[in-house]
Amino acid sequence: MSSKQPSLGTAIFWFVMVATVGLAADLISKTVVFAAYWPYYQHPNTWQPSSEPHWLIDGMLGFQTSTNGGALFGMMQGYQSVFIVLSLMALLAVVSWLFLYGAWRDRILLLCLAMITAGILGNLYDRMGLWHELRTPEVYHYQVRDWIHFRIQGVPFFDPWPNFNIADALLVCGVGVMMVQNLFFAPIPPEQVDAPANASDGDAN
């Protein structure tokens, strides 16, 4: 991979592409899994809030529909208006970081921010009540749809891990990679990116 910075147009293209693919993967997966497994869609008169696990890897990884009225790991239940405001503020911060502070020049940071944007938008869509059908009980209208069920039997906190979705995974991975980059791989200052090439040109002369 070239060490040269991407152009602004190329950076915008890849940011929009990654964010769009991530958002589509989140919303489509939620729609498909909930249509197939959520009790309220299968049996509208039930009061069961989540489905039974449907295993891909027996006892470890599968589908289980549930809804979350809080943040990650179900914290702060019922504060949807607060989460909506925080999500909008986070999106504004991402755009500012990209274009006012030059984050678009760093490919890894650009990818991380695109993943984070997709994650924010995926859960924001649910929090704004845009996903439910008319028959869905009102109590669930502004909750986030979770469907990925993971557990490691006998291991505290992983038995089971709180259900999550692709948006959550994008948020965690985006932030995680960004932290690793900041801790172990300091970005090259823009003015030094082309320094080796320029130095070689000078020697040739």
- Active-site positions? 146, 168
Q: Which of 128, 114, 116, 117 is nearest to 83 (CA)?
A: 128
Which ranges of 51-165 would DSSP assign to H, the alpha helix?
80-99, 107-127
Going 158 to 162 to 168 to 172, the CA torsion angle's sign is negative
Tell me how far apart the alpha carbons of residues 115 and 86 are, in angstroms, rounded to a whole number: 17
Tell me how far apart the alpha carbons of residues 203 and 205 are, in angstroms, rounded to a whole number: 5
Tell me how far apart the alpha carbons of residues 191 and 22 are, in angstroms, rounded to a whole number: 32
Q: Calculate ∠ Cα 145-95-21, nearest 5°.
A: 45
Contact 165, 122 (CB under 8 A): yes
For tokens 């020049």, the residue is 105
Count the Cβ atoms, other than its own, within 10 Å of residue 34. 24
For tokens 């990925």, the residue is 148
Count the Cβ atoms, other than its own, within 10 Å of residue 65. 26
